[in-house]
Amino acid sequence: MNREGFDEYVRRVMKQKGLKAVDVERNSGNKIDRSHVSKFMRGVETNPSANAMMALAAGLGVNGHEIFSAVTGCVLDDSRPRLSEVLEFLSLVEKVAADPELVEAVRGMVGLPQKGRAAIMKMLSLHGEVRQATGQKRPSSKKKR
């Protein structure tokens, strides 16, 4: 079974809803212009920005996740993270934000290509295994005064 391309998706939704490019432009609050919509429909543009995806979603009257799935081919799971996972993540973000060295480390990792991030993750994983094998405790995140 062939996956529907982004251009096919846009044309299908517009046909189902009886929309023209000008309607999509108007429905988006003019956040995306009809020529942009036309480029999506023709397959001329296949890699929209996040802002363009959200504007297109508004213009088509669909969920933004649907647009993202059409662009990437990734089907998003509608299940939401548990509250405990969200709180743990927020706690980590708070710790990173409070430590200039961690902020710089994260900034550096974000700028790396996937291979570079994978190498660092492997190194961190090995460091954790060595710490466990030698019985070392995890360093405390609390600073001594």
* pLDDT given at position 75: 66
Q: Average pLDDT, stretch 56-66?
A: 90
Single pTM value for the model: 0.51
Q: What is the pLDDT of residues 33-49, one digit of tens each?
A: 999 999 999 999 888 98
Q: Average pLDDT, stretch 84-108?
A: 86
The CA distance from 59 to 24, in Å, is 4
Q: Average pLDDT, stretch 125-130?
A: 72
* pLDDT given at position 1: 45
Q: Using pLDDT thresholds of 50, 70 and 90, give the confidence band for residue 145.
A: very low
Q: Using pLDDT thresholds of 50, 70 and 90, give the confidence band for residue 84.
A: low
Q: Average pLDDT, stretch 105-120?
A: 88
The CA distance from 33 to 23, in Å, is 10
Q: What domains appear along the chain, each with residue ranges and CATH number?
A: 6-72 (1.10.260.40), 83-134 (no CATH)
> How many Cα atoms sit within 13 Å of 5 on the Cβ side?
11
The CA distance from 123 to 69, in Å, is 33
Cβ burial 128-144 (10 Å sphere, 16+ → b, else e) = eeeeeeeeeeeeeeeee
The CA distance from 74 to 33, in Å, is 26
